[in-house]
Amino acid sequence: MIQLATRVTTVTPSITLAITAKAKAMKAQGIDVCSFSSGEPDFDTPQHIKDAAALALAKGKTKYGAVAGEAALKEAIAKKLKNDNQLEYTTNNIIVTNGGKHSLFNLMLALIEPGDEVIIPAPYWLSYPEMVKLAQGTPVIVDTTAETDYKITPEQLTQAITPKSKLFVLNSPSNPTGTVYTEEELKALAEIIVDRNLWVVSDEIYEKILYDGAQHISIGSLGKDIFERTIISNGFAKSYSMTGWRIGYLAGSEELIKATSTIQSHSTSNVCTFAQYGAVAALEQKESLQCVQEMVQAFTQRRQVILERIKAIPKLSCPIPMGAFYVFIDISQTGMTSLDFCDALLKKQQVAAIPGKAFGADNCIRLSYATDLESIEKGMDRIEKFVFEEKR
């Protein structure tokens, strides 16, 4: 038997990817599965973005590039961060990575020492604690509840801080809950972060997907002191429906970005060179604005339908998500754990949902509404039937 490194044994494989794969395999066998499991927009990448990458390919942008990214893309990102987020960065403050996931992984390796504590509010995106563990840090999970819209309170953050605390992970809009922090809430957290000399990584990958007038505020824009302690993680996957392109970025101090570039230079090197020109088009071409608007409009309609359907099912409840494309439903009144619920739902009704346990909340399940309205209606009919039948 192979003797694997102990670091692997501490890490939990992604439940999201496992369920998505199971649902796909059932579909391939001809089973009519309704899938609410996917964390990706169901739209194709906008044509002008594909065209820009195709042009770069035709022009021979096919060689090794600078490890931290093509100059054109870093310039476009710096401009975007200034215009959209009121953050002043130069290209030396930016590294282009193989997706948001890779950004965060690079960051953990560059910043976290064995034993360092990383504060993560739960429900959390499932990769955060695993990445911390891979960097030999200690994830410190702070449970939040639906009563605070799944937001960590300043009191909770203060209580979680110890002399070993190094980093706080903020994700707004959030996966899995869709919660969006207000400026006031962020200011209160920023004060503590600055006062206690923590670092904060702000994962802003869902920043463009907002509802009912909600606004995305980048915590780093709230003053010079917090700016200096902030690292921005973002990517193109969700806003521009570019999940398969694998392009993300980190922005932060030059020292940190240099360190992540060194790590990247010995792991993945540069992101696919011609793909980066598609990302430039996503940021710079005016067509993008309309494409994002159309996507958000579609999500808005689906969100309304799914929320109405959930409201009509006794024993299910959820706060109204203000961003991203997920609903995080409390199933505790059914008396089932999230794993049992999702397992039985897939077996009995062929509906794929993600157990909240994956996100640190075993009393909930996550449904993604990045799927067409017809599938949402059909899937919700089945969920309704499932909850009704399980109840008896």
Name the residues that contact ligand PLP, by CB under 6 A: 39, 99-101, 125, 171, 175, 203, 205, 235, 237, 243, 248
Using left for φ > 0, alpha for ψ between -120 and 50, and beta otherwise, residue 69 falls in left
* Cβ distance to ligand PLP smaller for residue 173 or 379: 173
Tokens 């021979």, located at residue: 60
* Count of C-beta atoms within a 10 Å radius of residue 9: 7
Q: Which of 246, 264, 247 is CA-nearest to residue 256? A: 264
**CB-nearer residue toward ligand PLP: 272 or 387:** 272
The residue whose Cβ lies closest to ligand PLP is: 99
247 burial (CB, 10 Å; 0-12 / 13-18 / 19+) is buried
Using the minimum distance from each CB to ligand PLP, give the nearer residue, 93 or 175: 175
Give the contacts of 276 (CB within 8 A, at least 6 positions apart).
56, 61, 65, 69, 70, 72, 73, 96, 247, 270
* Spatial distance between the Cα atoms of 22 and 12, rounded to a whole number of angstroms: 17
In this complex, which beta carbon is closest to ligand PLP, that of residue 96 or of residue 380?
Answer: 96
The candidate with the shortest Cα–Cα distance to 186, out of 141, 142, 154, is 154
If the CB atoms of residues 322 and 387 are measured against ligand PLP, the closer one turns out to be: 322
Question: Residue 200 or 336: which CB sits closer to ligand PLP?
Answer: 200
